[in-house]
Amino acid sequence: MSRLIGIYGGLILLAMLGCEEGVSVRDDTYTDQIRLNQVGYYPDAQKKAVVVAESEISNFSIVESNTGETVFSGEISGPFNWELAGEQVHIADFSELQKEGSYQLYIEDLGYSFPFEIKEHVLHPVYLGSIKGLYFQRAGMALDEQYASQWNRALGHPDDSVLFHPSSGKQSGFLNSPKGWYDAGDYNKYVVNASFPLGQFFLLEEQYPNSVADGDLNIPESGNEISDYLDELKYEMDWVLTMQDEDGGMFHKLTTKNFEGMVMPHEATSQRYIVGKGTAASLDFAGAAAQAARVFMPYDSIYAERCLQAAKKAYSWSVENPEVAYVNPEDITTGQYGDTNFDDEFFWARTQLYITTSDNTYLENLNKDQIDFTYSPGDGWTKFMRFMGIFTLLENKSLVPDELYGTLREGILNTADALAAKTNTNDYFQCVDDFQWGSNSDVLNTAMIIAQAYRLDNKPEYLTAVRQAADYILGTNAVGYSFVTGFGDNPPMYIHHRQSAADGIVDPVPGLLSGGPNDDKQDVSAGVVYPENVSPMKSWTDHEDSYASNEICLNWNSPLTYILGFLEQESK
């Protein structure tokens, strides 16, 4: 049942985005033992399905969904024992099939896979969907049916009179701090995790300008002659700008004292506070705002200048206050986004300010001799910004001294080589082997590093590795789900997301990425049940209580959008 609903949800979203749906389902003898990209493959891509079976299997075929006609047959390799996944698998490689169409993989005695397509621009709808997902996260405005279809909702959280919490440094008064996106399944807004994803979104726009046209997303700003992507990003940027104190420092977050219940935005009316002020928020904001200045300059120079001035002020504050770590005050229990090491944040802020201003002081202060090129799982909102600084420097060769450029290039290529090699041997052809909170973003962040290597050196193996990360996210994984709501035939139906849980609509809000397997399972203490002795790669459950594995979050959607946008641009 949920699968059919998933299909229906995808159809609605595709219709909203003005796309056509090409897949028609052959029959319902699906087997979840066949794991593949449920959305589809580019014609020239490597195409590998994983077949989970204890029994011996030797052959597979690919049938055309509508007619049932066999268009390809192949031999299966394996079995292989995959420890992280905790299962025995076989591999069905159908890379040779390049003809466009809608297909299913068939194995005698097992059944049919979910349908998938082979075609040019096959990821375009899910790319746009991942951005439209941000629109659904908008605070401070009603989502009208015209744009939001069945997920329309009333205005929640105007945030026009948010009380200062003493931790902000102000003892009384209110801040007008409207707009922005809700961080995740909760309704709070966090400066660290607004700025970091903005940086990832801006990178895509800088590398592939205007890949989303005005009107592509069907949002209220559609028709204003500016890319809908920039309109959507500006909605968030407008909010973060309000979080700057007069002295330049950034307040840490805008939040209720405790998480609200699973209710709609307009029903979540507890008092909201401006909480904390610190170095991480200030530097992350400086990085994103300096980048915003470049991105918005061609469209709105006054806004761009405002972003740049704000970035400089936040940076100066951080230089004066280099070690102000945020810790939740006793009466605040919502997301902490706490960090105690600010090297990565300083590096990111300085790179962005340098590239925007060409002011050598920022460059001189970069810790050039200590750049760490190793990716460790979990390097997200605390550390991955150093990579984003490197990416930006690599994009601007003419502004970077030769020696530094050479070091950065070599460092990224070496890291990418190691990661890409790992995708060939590691379970489910991706390079993460330690599954933490938000592991899907680890898969995508590693793919972002490999994507930069591809921009430096067009080696096919880099493109293949990035495509495999997308395959993993869209179904070639140990749980057999497409992790993006509304896309693929077996997407999550019960994400930890207040609106989706409360709106009475069967389908969750579409275009949102589930966090993914999390071996730490922190939500067991809240009563979430995982199968006994579940393997790391299967530590995920499609249950709305599972905040540790099945929540959605801005910094997970951002590398998703980046990777899908990259692939759409680079796959000819």
Residues noted as catalytic: 186, 496, 542, 551
What type of residue sits at position 303?
Y
Coil/strand/helix, residue 91? strand
Among 13, 184, 304, 385, binds ligand 9MR (CB under 6 A): 184
What Cα–Cα distance (Å) separates residue 533 from each residue in 519, 522, 536, 538? Answer: 11, 15, 9, 10
Quick one: the chain helix, strand, coil %, rounded to 5?
A: 40, 15, 45
- Least distance CB 213 / ligand 9MR (angstroms): 31
- Least distance CB 520 / ligand 9MR (angstroms): 8
Q: What is the C-alpha separation between 528 and 515, in angstroms, rounded?
A: 15
Question: What is the CA angle 366-370-374, rounded to 5?
Answer: 115
Helices (H) and strands (E) in the chain, counts: 15, 14
- Least distance CB 44 / ligand 9MR (angstroms): 35
Strands (DSSP E) found in 56-201: 59-64, 70-82, 87-93, 101-107, 111-112, 116-118, 162-164, 174-175, 189-190
**Residue span binding ligand 9MR (CB under 6 A) among the ranges 22-30, 100-108, 297-305, 330-338:** 330-338
Phi, psi of 553 (to 5 degrees): -160, 150
- Closer by beta carbon to ligand 9MR, 33 or else 193: 193
Count of Cβ atoms closer than 10 Å to residue 372 Cβ: 17
**Residue span binding ligand 9MR (CB under 6 A) among the ranges 194-202, 206-214, 333-341, 538-546:** 333-341
- Per-residue contact string for residues 488-527; x = within reach of ligand 9MR by CB under 6 A: ----------------------------------------
How many residues comprise the chain? 572
Question: What string of DSSP letters covers 238-275?
Answer: HHHHHTB-TTSPEEEEEE-SS---S--GGG--S--EEE
Are 466 and 420 contacting, i.e. CB atoms less than 8 angstroms apart?
Answer: no
- Least distance CB 245 / ligand 9MR (angstroms): 22
Q: What is the C-alpha separation between 393 and 404, in angstroms, rounded?
A: 9
Phi, psi of 246 (to 5 degrees): -60, -30
Tokens representing 31 are 């087997």
Question: What is the CA angle 193-195-197, rounded to 5?
Answer: 70
Coil/strand/helix, residue 92? strand
Q: Binding to ligand 9MR by residue 438, rule CB under 6 A? A: yes
Q: Binding to ligand 9MR by residue 537, rule CB under 6 A? A: no
Q: What is the C-alpha separation between 127 and 395, in angstroms, rounded?
A: 23
Q: Binding to ligand 9MR by residue 437, rule CB under 6 A? A: yes
**Residue span binding ligand 9MR (CB under 6 A) among the ranges 120-128, 181-189, 387-395, 498-506:** 181-189
- Closer by beta carbon to ligand 9MR, 336 or else 426: 336
- Closer by beta carbon to ligand 9MR, 104 or else 436: 436
Q: Binding to ligand 9MR by residue 553, rule CB under 6 A? A: yes
Task: Give the H/E segment covering residue 48.
Answer: strand 48-52
- Least distance CB 183 / ligand 9MR (angstroms): 5
- Least distance CB 386 / ligand 9MR (angstroms): 17
**Residue span binding ligand 9MR (CB under 6 A) among the ranges 17-25, 99-107, 183-191, 349-357:** 183-191
**Residue span binding ligand 9MR (CB under 6 A) among the ranges 11-19, 147-155, 169-177, 180-188:** 180-188
Question: Token match 């079976």: residue?
Answer: 53
- Least distance CB 300 / ligand 9MR (angstroms): 30
- Closer by beta carbon to ligand 9MR, 183 or else 205: 183
- Least distance CB 483 / ligand 9MR (angstroms): 14
- Closer by beta carbon to ligand 9MR, 198 or else 212: 198
Count of Cβ atoms closer than 10 Å to residue 359 Cβ: 12
Interacting residues with ligand 9MR between 270 and 309 (CB under 6 A): none
- Least distance CB 85 / ligand 9MR (angstroms): 23
- Least distance CB 188 / ligand 9MR (angstroms): 7
User: Dihedral (C-alpha) 83, 85, 86, 87: value to the nearest 10 degrees?
Assistant: -110
**Residue span binding ligand 9MR (CB under 6 A) among the ranges 19-27, 71-79, 115-123, 178-186:** 178-186
Q: How many residues contact ligand 9MR, by CB under 6 A?
A: 11
**Residue number with the shortest CB distance to ligand 9MR?**
335
**Residue span binding ligand 9MR (CB under 6 A) among the ranges 7-15, 340-348, 545-553, 561-569:** 545-553
Interacting residues with ligand 9MR between 337 and 376 (CB under 6 A): 337
> Cα 233 vs. chain centroid, distance in angstroms?
14
- Per-residue contact string for residues 128-167; x = within reach of ligand 9MR by CB under 6 A: ----------------------------------------
**How is residue 113 annotated by DSSP?**
P
Among 87, 117, 186, 205, binds ligand 9MR (CB under 6 A): 186
- Closer by beta carbon to ligand 9MR, 192 or else 250: 192
- Closer by beta carbon to ligand 9MR, 420 or else 495: 495
Q: What is the C-alpha separation between 397 and 271, in angstroms, rounded?
A: 48
Coil/strand/helix, residue 496? strand
- Least distance CB 571 / ligand 9MR (angstroms): 30
CB burial readout 297-311, b (16+ within 10 A) else e: eeeeeebbebbbebb
Interacting residues with ligand 9MR between 215 and 234 (CB under 6 A): none
- Closer by beta carbon to ligand 9MR, 84 or else 553: 553
Question: Token match 């055309």: residue?
Answer: 64
The residues that touch ligand 9MR, with contacts defined as CB under 6 A, are: 183-184, 186, 335-337, 437-438, 547, 551, 553
